[in-house]
Structure 1
């Protein structure tokens, strides 16, 4: 079991070097919590994209918010803010880099993701055998 977990961890550390990009994906969500589904992109996809759209007038009137994430062969146009409505676009090109809902916000690096996985598997790796 320990060998299997170690091999799994090593494989996950080197996934970024594979040809296929992996991005988080979701469609028309209100929260980033529902946008953490990993998806393997096609070979033609070069970008992980996060697009957030919001409309409203200050804090008084809120017309809604929508968050979309996924894979794309191109990086869509720039962010736009016209006062009562805005569309934020963020593109990146590494393993699960579209972690955050914020444009240019927190991004999880491969090393950080691997460290988290290792720490979560540590009790199983250190458990004495039968």
Structure 2
């Protein structure tokens, strides 16, 4: 049993060194809760990005979030008064969990995202 645990630990560490960037992916979703699918990025894609778009004012406002892998990324925030677009970039697996434009990702948020992804994969295979 001890040998098996050590073997699994070594395998996990070795696999982590290979390119294996994973990002959450969704397109133009009205809620961050709809963005829990993760996907492995292509070798050329080095960043995860979250783009949050808001349009309108008050009760007529609309919120949309898109997440994906990208080869290059520039963070920005543009506010026109009638809407805004915010782009956030990060470089570690599943770092684009947050749909908020100004919230730093916490360890707890990453853990919840990993759990949601794991449960989604299990549900898909049943």
TM-score, length of structure 1 as denominator length: 0.68
Cα shift readout 1:78-101 (whole Å, capped 9, x = no counterpart): 111111010011000001100100
Runs of 4 or more, structure 1, over 4 Å off, are 13-16
How many residues align structurally?
109
Q: Which residue of 2 aligns with 1:50?
A: 50
TM-align CA RMSD: 3.2
In the alignment, does 2:31 pair up with 1:24? Answer: no
Contact 1:16 1:94 in 2 (8 A): no
Which ranges in structure 2 are unaligned for 5 or more consecutive residues? 116-126
Q: Which residue among 90, 93, 96 is the counterpart of 1:92? A: 90
Of Structure 1 and Structure 2, which has the larger fraction of its residues in helix?
Answer: 2
| Bigger Rg, which one | 1
TM-score, length of structure 2 as denominator length: 0.70
Which ranges in structure 1 are unaligned for 5 or more consecutive residues? 118-130
